[in-house]
Amino acid sequence: MTLPFVEKYRPTKFKDIIYHDHILNVFDNFINQNKLPHVILYGPAGTGKTTTALAIAKKMYGGDVNKMILELNGSDDRGIQTVREQIKDFCTTQAIITDNSNDCLNKIKLVILDEVDSMTPDAQFALRRIMEKYTYNTRFCLICNYMTKIIPALQSRCMFFRFEPIPKKNILKRLSYISKREQLNIDQSTLKTIVSICNGDMRKCLNILQSMTTGSYNINKDDVYELNGYAKPKIIKKIIKNLIDKKKTIKYNYEFIYEQIHNNNLSLTDIIDQITDNIFDYDISDDKLKDILIGLAKIQYHLNNNGTEKIQLYSLISYLK
């Protein structure tokens, strides 16, 4: 069975990671000097946090990496029992690797804990104590999307590095390389469209690329929008134009947007994201723009917390009216 592109093309060495050179240089120095501290890698999804953590482990341990690291996902193993059993057991056992050139590497093991912001507060407090007690032989690499969900006691024991969204030019270059390797029938304008809807999320780009090229037909940029549930730019422009047109009633706008959502299988959340990206192209004063953006943020919040889509759609229309 063919591997997903995300795993097939996941970098294993620092030199193959396409961005965050400044962070990689810091870790390179840590490893060369045997001074790796506890660290927190945080930032949006698909920006290379887990890939970087695994590359650090590979650089430190080489072929013995599986003996020297414990990799867990906080969303699956989120309770205090995991900390007390799996993590503590790993920290208290001694693993000897075959590379005897560096005494420090024979002592220090690495725990990679992904999505640690999904762990319960009790589990995080227990983890704090484990980190404190076993610093002499174990380092912790914590990975999360939101630093605010990490308790201060953990934050104070770690160095933290923010992974920002990957620039579009870097992602496009990587997608072009993969397309050539896979002999995909896809042009540059379509690749640019994939990049534009992913907001710096490399994993999402690779998943879209693979899902759209499994068939035998040619893919164009309209297909990218249609097959991934995004509104075409001309639809978003029409929606904004209608919303700021004083002659168009609230009822008319509701019926028009509702029709677009259901005829094109769109999500109101994605429509709001696309409106936010395009609203700056219109002649709207800063004062009104400020109120619109605050309103869009509130609507997004309510949608993410099980708000009724019908009511939020009326709210969207009202804010822009």
- The tens-digit pLDDT sequence of the chain (321 residues) is 578 899 999 999 999 998 999 999 999 999 998 889 999 999 999 999 999 999 999 998 888 888 888 888 766 655 667 677 788 888 887 665 555 544 444 468 999 999 888 888 888 888 888 888 888 889 999 999 999 889 999 999 999 999 999 999 999 999 999 998 988 888 888 899 999 888 889 999 999 888 877 765 567 788 888 878 888 888 999 999 998 888 889 999 999 999 988 888 888 988 998 898 888 888 888 888 898 899 999 999 999 888 888 999 999 998 887
Count up the domains in the chain and report the number: 3
Amino acid 216: pLDDT: 52
Domain boundary among 120, 139, 162: 162
Classify residue 10: in a domain, yes or no: no
Q: If DSSP states are collapsed to H, E and C, what string results for 128-145?
A: HHHHHHCCCCEEEEEEEC
Classify residue 4: in a domain, yes or no: no
Residues 214 and 305 occupy one common structural domain? no
Residues 137 and 217 occupy one common structural domain? no
Residues 190 and 156 occupy one common structural domain? no
Residues 267 and 301 occupy one common structural domain? yes
Domain boundary among 128, 145, 162: 162
Are residues 43 and 163 in contact, defined by beta-carbon separation less than 8 angstroms? Answer: yes
Domain boundary among 162, 187, 203: 162
Q: Looking at 158-201, list the stretches that DSSP marks H as alpha helix, in order from N- to C-terminal side.
A: 168-182, 188-196
The two three-digit tokens of residue 61, written as one number: 């341990």
Residues 134 and 179 occupy one common structural domain? no
Matching residue, tokens 């809807």: 197
Residues 219 and 116 occupy one common structural domain? no
DSSP 113-125: EETGGGS-HHHHH
Residues 179 and 99 occupy one common structural domain? no
Residues 102 and 223 occupy one common structural domain? no
Residues 157 and 272 occupy one common structural domain? no
